[in-house]
């Protein structure tokens, strides 16, 4: 029996996978911010603070995902054509 390496996902599939993660993180961030706005309007400061913390965490995950995706794409594609 011979070992043959299995090809990984293509670059475009990885990019779409990363985009899917970013959309999910953005949706969670927007939902948590909407929850914060509603809870703050209802004068529930403790719950509003938790919703704001959740929005911050999801927003941080979104920014981290954006930064790591762009660096991976640049590393694969190279510097680009000269002008």
pLDDT in tens, 7-19: 777 888 888 888 9
**Single pTM value for the model:** 0.73
Interval 43-66: pLDDT, tens: 999 999 999 999 999 999 999 999
As a whole number, mean pLDDT of residues 65-81 equals 67
Q: Are 32 and 58 in contact (CB under 8 A)?
A: yes
Give the separation between CA 19 and CA 54, rounded to whole angstroms: 21
The conformation of residue 83, written as its DSSP 8-state character, comes to -
Q: Locate tokens 């090809």: which residue?
A: 7
Helices assigned H by DSSP within 1-83: 11-41, 45-77
- Do 54 and 31 form a contact (C-beta atoms < 8 A)? no
Tell me the C-alpha distance between 52 and 63, whole Å. 16
């Amino acid at each position: 029996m011979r070992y043959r390496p299995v090809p990984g996902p293509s670059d475009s599939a990885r990019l779409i996978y990363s985009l899917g993660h970013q959309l999910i993180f953005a949706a969670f961030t927007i939902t948590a911010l909407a929850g914060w706005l509603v809870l703050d309007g209802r004068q529930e400061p403790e719950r509003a603070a938790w919703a704001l913390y959740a929005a911050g965490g999801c927003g941080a995950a979104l920014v981290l995902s954006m930064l790591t995706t762009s660096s991976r794409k640049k590393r694969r594609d190279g510097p680009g054509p000269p002008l």
